[in-house]
Amino acid sequence: MAFCVNCGEKVNGGANFCQKCGIPVATVNINKENTRQQEFAGKIYKCPNCGEVLKSFASNCPSCGFELRGIKATSAVKEFATKLEAIEDRREYEKPGGLFKRAAAFQQISKTDEQKISLIKNFAVPNTKEDILEFMILATSNVDMDIYGTTNTPVAGAKALTDAWNSKIKQVYAKAKNSFGTDTDFSRIQELYDSCNTDIAKQKKKKILKWVLLVGWIPLLWIIIIAELMISGPKDEAKELSRLDVIVVDVQDALDKSEYKLALRIADSIDYQRYDVEMERKWDIQREYWIDKVLEEAKNNGVELEFTPSEDVDNANDDETNKPSSEGIVDGFKDGLSSGSENIENNIEQFKENLNGKEGE
C-alpha cells in the first residue's frame, strides 16, 4: 500500500496524482522499506447506517440516531449461552421411586446441573466491555432469588447453580472494575451488580422475617400465658376467698335465725377450690369449726341434728386409711358369700316348716 510523501494520504492503485494534494505519484516512493504500515488494536464498530464510529455500549448512533440494540451480539457470550441451552436440552428427568429415594434425589446434584456449573466456573470472560456487559446481563438474570428467600431446604442442584452464577458475577465485576473502573461505561455494570446484591439482601431479610413469623410466636405465646397467669391468678384467688367469706356469713345468718339444718348444710359446703395447700388446710379447719358450732348451738337449743360429714374431694384420696386393702376386699367377699349362704339355708328351713304345717292341716 502506497502513501503520498507530501500529505500522507493513501494513494489508490493506478493513480498518477495524489487525490488530496495533487503531487505526482511518480514522486511517491513505493519501496517496501519506505511503505507506511497501519496496525489496529481491537475492533472499531461503526454505524451500519452512516458509518459513524460507535462508543462502547451505545444503543443509538450519535450522528443519525439509528437503533443499534441487537445489531451485533458478542460472539463469546453468545457461544456460552448456546452451550448452556444445549446442556439443558439433554437433561433427563427421572422420577425416583419411594420416599427415601425421592428425599435423596432432592439433595443430589444432577449430571446436567454439574455440567452447567462446570461450564460457568470455567468460562473465560473476554476483555471487551461489550462482552462483559452481555455476560453480566445473562448472569444476573439467571440468579434464582427464591433460593435466598425460602425457609424450606432448597433443591441442591438449584442452589449450586445459583451459587455458581453469583460467584462468577463477582469475578467478572472485579475484572471490569480493574480494567475500566474509572470509565463512564463501567456505570452500567456497576448498576447490574448493585441491583443483584440488593435483591439478594431483600430476599435474605424476607427469610429472616418468615422464620420470625413461623417460630417467634412460640416464646410470644409463653409470654402471653405467663402474663395472663400473673394477672388472672391473684384475681381468681381473691374471688375464691371472697366466695368463702360469703358462705361463712350465710352460716352465721342461718344460726341467727335458728335455721340449724340450713346452717349445717351451708357450713358443710365450705371447700377451698384453688391450688394453695396451706390455704386449703386453713379452710378445712374453718369448715370443721362451723360444723361443730352449728351442732353445738342446735343441741343447746334442744335440736338434735344428724350429720354425716361429706368427704373432702381434694383430700379424699390422701389418707391411706381410706383406701381399701386387698385383704379387706377378700374378707368382704368371703363375708358376703357366708351371709348369702346363711340366708339360703334359712329360706330352705322356713320353706320346710311351711310345708309341714300344710300337711298337718
Residue that wins the pLDDT comparison between 109 and 99: 109
Residue that wins the pLDDT comparison between 17 and 191: 191
Whether residue 327 is predicted with pLDDT greater than 70 in this model: the reply is no
- The arithmetic mean of pLDDT across residues 309-327, rounded, is 46
d(CA 56, CA 44): 10
Whether residue 342 is predicted with pLDDT greater than 70 in this model: the reply is no
Hey, CA dihedral for 126, 127, 128, 129, is it positive or negative?
positive
- The arithmetic mean of pLDDT across residues 332-343, rounded, is 50
For residue 234 the three cell numbers come to 391473684
- The arithmetic mean of pLDDT across residues 120-147, rounded, is 87
* Span of 3-17, 252-266, 311-325 with lowest mean pLDDT: 311-325
Query: For 39-91, what is each residue's pLDDT tens digit?
Result: 455 566 677 667 777 665 555 677 877 655 544 445 788 888 899 999 988 88
Coil, strand or helix at 68: coil
Query: For 243-290, what is each residue's pLDDT tens digit?
Result: 999 999 999 999 899 998 898 989 899 999 888 888 899 999 999 999
DSSP 271-289: ---SS-HHHHHHHHHHHHH
Q: Would you say 113 and 157 are in contact if contact means Cβ atoms under 8 Å apart?
A: yes
Residue that wins the pLDDT comparison between 88 and 350: 88
pLDDT of res. 193: 92
Helical spans, DSSP H, in the chain? 75-89, 99-106, 111-122, 129-141, 146-149, 156-180, 186-215, 217-256, 260-268, 277-300, 326-360
Q: Which of 29-33, 106-110, 315-319, 328-332 has the highest mean pLDDT?
A: 106-110
Query: For 168-223, what is each residue's pLDDT tens digit?
Result: 999 999 988 888 888 888 888 999 999 999 998 898 888 888 777 776 667 777 77
pTM: 0.43
- The arithmetic mean of pLDDT across residues 331-351, rounded, is 52
Whether residue 328 is predicted with pLDDT greater than 90 in this model: the reply is no
Say which DSSP state 257 is in: T
Mean pLDDT computed over every residue of the chain: 75
pLDDT of res. 285: 92
Query: For 213-256, what is each residue's pLDDT tens digit?
Result: 776 667 777 777 777 767 667 778 888 889 999 999 999 999 89
d(CA 34, CA 24): 17
Coil, strand or helix at 70: coil
Q: Which amino acid is at 108?
A: Q
d(CA 143, CA 165): 6
- The arithmetic mean of pLDDT across residues 319-338, rounded, is 45
**CB-based contacts of 59, cutoff 8 Å, min separation 6:** 67, 68, 69
Domains of the chain, by residue range, sit at 1-39, 42-72, 78-215, 220-300
d(CA 314, CA 321): 16
Whether residue 34 is predicted with pLDDT greater than 60 in this model: the reply is no
